[in-house]
Amino acid sequence: MSVSRGVIFVAGHRGMVGSAICRQLISQGTDPGAIVTRNRNELDLTDQLAVRRLLWEIRPSEVYLAAAKVGGIFANNNYPADFIGINLAIQTNLITASFEAGVKRLLFLGSSCIYPRLARQPITEDSLLTGPLEGTNEPYAVAKIAGIKLCESMNRQYGASHGISYRSVMPTNLYGPGDNYHPENSHVVPALIRRFHEAKKTGLPLVVVWGSGLPRREFLYVDDLARACLHVMNLPDAAYTASTTPMCSHINVGCGHDITIKETAQLIASVVGYEGQIQFDTTKPDGTPRKLLDNSRISRLGWQPTMGLEQGLTETYEDFLERAKHGTI
């Protein structure tokens, strides 16, 4: 049975997060016909007038802002102007045009890289802006921080007078179906899946992984995040405001535990079936030493992850194989 939620616009529906949000909306009963999406050929999200025109045309009741330019350490290091400029444009266009079109509910997807490089672990929401960022992805992080603050500022200025509630969630490192497996511009999990798969296929005896392998990372299956997004979006205003403050309104979303990059590589190699050696190149950057989010805020609000890491990696590898078979990676 479908549930009427009005028109819902999902920006970035072809990406890993956006596609998971669409799946979750439908699984929770939303009429697929009520979900509006546009691909890059149909809508340039950096074009302010085009974004404004679409939102005035469809007049959505909810907007999920999952569109972003994303990438791993290599991409962030080599294209810093793109990462800050494109993301600032996308966010600003969508958030301001949503308000102008009368959108009451908006969810902004941030990133755990918004927090200081040496933040106390696990990282609480109020750690934001308390120290220097990790240099390798600072431009991307600054853009995401700006998105959070734009949502907060809209709420502070127009929340009472216009009845809006623009909310932000900060996911930890994500993986899952629909990920980007680009050999240079992807994040650690999809990059290693591809590398170990290709090494297994060609019989390579050794795979080299960037960095020392010592940094610790927390990983969350993307469908768990999608459930969290809908959970936060559906919270009554009283519950949301009771758990946040006007200038610290974002909510962490993580699984609550982390592992080293070395352990991650070994686990992915096992899932893929690669039996060769793994070597770590210490001349390459490690990035932030540790990023473990404190997810007590969203836990108190009633959400918990459900997917274990090994099972999630297995399903992600199956997605990789399926997409490789059809030439879509």
Distance CA 195, CA 6 (A): 43
H/E run at residue 226: helix 222-234
DSSP conformation letters of 115-169: S-TTPPSSBPGGGTTSSPPPGGGHHHHHHHHHHHHHHHHHHHHHHHHH--EEEEE
* 75 Ramachandran zone, left/alpha/beta (phi>0; psi -120 to 50): alpha
CB distance 271 to 189 below 8 Å: no
Distance CA 286, CA 83 (A): 19
140 given a catalytic annotation: yes
CB distance 320 to 194 below 8 Å: yes
User: Which position among 64, 115, 140, 181 bears the catalytic label?
Assistant: 140
Distance CA 150, CA 64 (A): 15
Residues with catalytic roles: 140
